[in-house]
């Protein structure tokens, strides 16, 4: 049966198709969740080689455990939880807490920007670079929470599910992470520079 649209299947339909032997449905699961998984792994794990291995481990575990998925959460949240736990296990095994790299995904192209527009873009990039550098200095948990909430736009409930933390704790840690981030930025850069 041909796939007409990647978004036309519910989580339950995708899981049932995979469990029925449809490999293309698992490819859709990967495609629908890889952005979240990459964000989690890149925030928690520094070594690129280890990130690739963890990606493979996450999807291998997802495939092997798919029959135990209970649909108590979104499939993407469940896969995110597998990724988060895989990173925690890796860090525990290695006894490491390493920051990940923050990759800017902004790509500006074309030579038709006016001088003012170019200045705005450079200012945004500079601020983005400052913010990225300061996010990297946060603890692994705070950095991960900021990325999941602000970049992946996950709800508190989804983040709580992924991290196995109570929702109130997630809110509290996010508040602390934002406060620490703000303090670090204000301490390091004068308001005129920003």
In CATH, what number is assigned to the domain containing residue 154? 1.10.1740.10
Residue 16 lies in a domain: yes
Phi, psi of 177 (to 5 degrees): -65, -45
Question: Quick count: other Cβ atoms within 10 Å of Cβ 111?
Answer: 5
- Judge whether residue 78 has pLDDT over 90: yes
The reported pLDDT for the residue numbered 22 is 87
The reported pLDDT for the residue numbered 191 is 52
Residue 171 lies in a domain: yes
Residue 6 lies in a domain: no
Show the tokens assigned to 159.
Answer: 């983040």
For range 159-176, the mean pLDDT: 91
The reported pLDDT for the residue numbered 43 is 85
Spatial CB neighbours of 139, under 8 Å, sequence gap ≥ 6? 97
Show the tokens assigned to 32.
Answer: 């629908």
CA dist., res. 83 & res. 116, Å (int) = 42
Domain span holding position 52: 11-188
For range 171-194, the mean pLDDT: 77
Residue pair 44/83 in contact (Cβ under 8 Å)? The answer is: no
Residue 67 lies in a domain: yes
Residue 119 lies in a domain: yes
> Does the global pTM surpass 0.85?
no
CA dist., res. 9 & res. 41, Å (int) = 26
Q: Report how many domains make up the chain.
A: 1
Instruction: Work out the pLDDT band at 42, boundaries 50, 70, 90.
Output: confident
Q: What percentage of the chain exceeds 90 in pLDDT?
A: 26
Residue 3 lies in a domain: no
- Judge whether residue 61 has pLDDT over 50: yes
The reported pLDDT for the residue numbered 172 is 92
Residue pair 91/140 in contact (Cβ under 8 Å)? The answer is: yes
Residue pair 135/181 in contact (Cβ under 8 Å)? The answer is: yes
N-terminal to C-terminal alpha carbon distance within the chain: 55
- Judge whether residue 13 has pLDDT over 60: yes
Residue 56 lies in a domain: yes
For range 1-25, the mean pLDDT: 77
Residue 115 lies in a domain: yes
């Amino acid at each position: 049966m041909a796939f007409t649209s990647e978004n036309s299947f519910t989580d339950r339909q995708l899981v049932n198709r995979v469990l029925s032997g449809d490999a293309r449905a698992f490819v859709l699961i990967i495609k629908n969740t890889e952005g979240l998984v990459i964000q989690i792994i890149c925030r928690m794990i520094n070594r690129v080689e280890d990130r690739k291995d963890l990606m493979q481990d996450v999807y291998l575990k997802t495939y092997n455990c798919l029959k135990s998925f209970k649909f108590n959460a979104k499939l993407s949240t469940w896969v995110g939880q597998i990724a988060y736990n895989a990173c925690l296990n890796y860090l525990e095994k290695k006894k490491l807490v390493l920051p990940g790299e923050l990759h800017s995904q902004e790509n500006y192209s074309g030579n038709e920007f006016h001088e003012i527009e170019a200045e705005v873009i450079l200012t945004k990039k500079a601020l983005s670079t400052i913010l990225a550098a300061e996010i990297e200095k946060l603890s692994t948990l705070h950095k991960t929470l900021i990325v999941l909430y602000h970049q992946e736009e996950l709800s508190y409930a989804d983040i709580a599910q992924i991290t196995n933390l109570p929702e109130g704790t997630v809110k509290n840690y996010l508040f602390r992470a934002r406060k620490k981030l703000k303090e670090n930025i204000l301490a390091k850069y004068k308001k005129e520079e920003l």
